[in-house]
Structures are given as C-alpha cells and as structure tokens.
Chain A
Amino acid sequence: AQKITQTQPGMFVQEKEAVTLDCTYDTSDQSYGLFWYKQPSSGEMIFLIYQGSYDEQNATEGRYSLNFQKARKSANLVISASQLGDSAMYFCAMRESHRSGGGADGLTFGKGTHLIIQP
C-alpha cells in the first residue's frame, strides 16, 4: 500500500486563485512529520512547509498553509493567491518515528502533482 497518496497528477489553475493540493498518508506511528516540497523545472527540491503529527495548529508559511486533518490522515497544501512562478511539481512527504529500517530514516514521497498556473 502506498504510504503517501497524491490523487491529482496535474492541475490547471488561473493566476490569483487559491489552490488546494491533496495528500493522504498511511502510518501506524503516533509521531510523524509531514512535509511539502516544490520542484520547478530546474529540478531542485524546495522545502515549503512542515506539519508535525502532534501540532495542534495548522502550519502556515507565507502564502502556503497546510490543512491537517489527522483523523482523516490528510495533509493538503493550500496556496493562496497563486502566481505564475508557482508552476511546478509539488510533492507531499512523510517521515515516521520508528527506526525499524526499510527506509524509515528517510522521507517517503508521493508521486507528486504537476501544477500549472495560467495567466
């Protein structure tokens, strides 16, 4: 089973509109961290926002906010007032707390959403 599911392979959004990128996750850990990264066509992964599983408030960073619904295991990224420069791939990722190997020390990524902002 996929640990991170991003159900929107691609999205077209009009400039200045708000965008919600979906992410659901699967873990049996009580303690985990959720991350969103942006990857423009240049290829570099840019960190956007982090949400800890015990954080009571939804994380916000400038135009980015994370709609964290723990019971539903979802961590959607919201971009307000989208800009042309927001066009990129967006990846949701999780790091779990257990250290049982099999990749637990790294981030587990979803397949990504390709966001295109149209003028």
Chain B
Amino acid sequence: GAGVSQSPSNKVTEKGKDVELRCDPISGHTALYWYRQSLGQGLEFLIYFQGNSAPDKSGLPSDRFSAERTGGSVSTLTIQRTQQEDSAVYLCASSSSGGRWETQYFGPGTRLLVL
C-alpha cells in the first residue's frame, strides 16, 4: 500500500513568512510523529499524535511551531515567522497504533530553506 506522503517536497521561503507542511500517514495508522533533521542538531523529535490529540508538545522548538491533526489522518506542521535556523528537513512518520515498540515508517520529508 501507499507509504507516508509529505508535501511539499521542497519549500523556499523568506524570513518572517509562515509555512505549512503537510503529512499524510499510512492509511489506518493512528499514531503520527514529526521530526526535524538539520546539520547542526541531527534528528530531533518534535511532536507525537495519537488520533487527533498530542499529549506532549514540549518537543516543539519554540512557540512559533504548532501542529494539528484532524480526522485522525492528515497532520499539518505550521511554522510562523520563519527564521533561518528553521531551515531543515522535516520528517513525518506513522505507526499503526502508537505502541511504544512499534516501527515508525517515515515519509520522504519536506526540505525547508529560509532565506
């Protein structure tokens, strides 16, 4: 079946603009995860959804970052007033029910460049 999809694949934006990144998990997967991969910080976990709710938002880097998930499927990560340090690859993953030892399947990522 189809894997995790993310859009856009690449996004170039100007500093100060808002961006929205979209993730479509594997059909039927209830758990969804966002990560960020940058040269300086490596791979960082941002936020986790079980269904539509995110129990813990403390992994988000700042209050400019927000995420939502509606209908238990698609999720959107929004970055407001982008800064150059937000440039990174944003990866989304899903797992079938969020069990702690379940495999997380990753999408191809969105490459964000803030000029």
Chain A residues engaging chain B, CB cutoff 8 angstroms: 33, 35, 37, 42-47, 50, 52, 91, 93, 95, 97, 99, 101-112
Contacts and interface: CB of A to CB of B under 8 A. Distances in A.
Given A33-B100, A106-B33, A112-B42, A101 B56 contact: yes
Contact of A47 (B59, B100, B105, B108): B105
Interface of B: 33, 35, 42-48, 55-56, 58-59, 89, 91, 93, 100-101, 103-109, 111
A50 B101 contact: yes
Chain B at the A interface: mostly helix, strand, loop or mixed?
strand
B64 to A, nearest CB: 18
B45 A106 contact: yes
Contacts of B45: 103, 105-108
B106 A44 contact: yes
A43 B59 contact: no
Contacts of B106: 37, 44-47
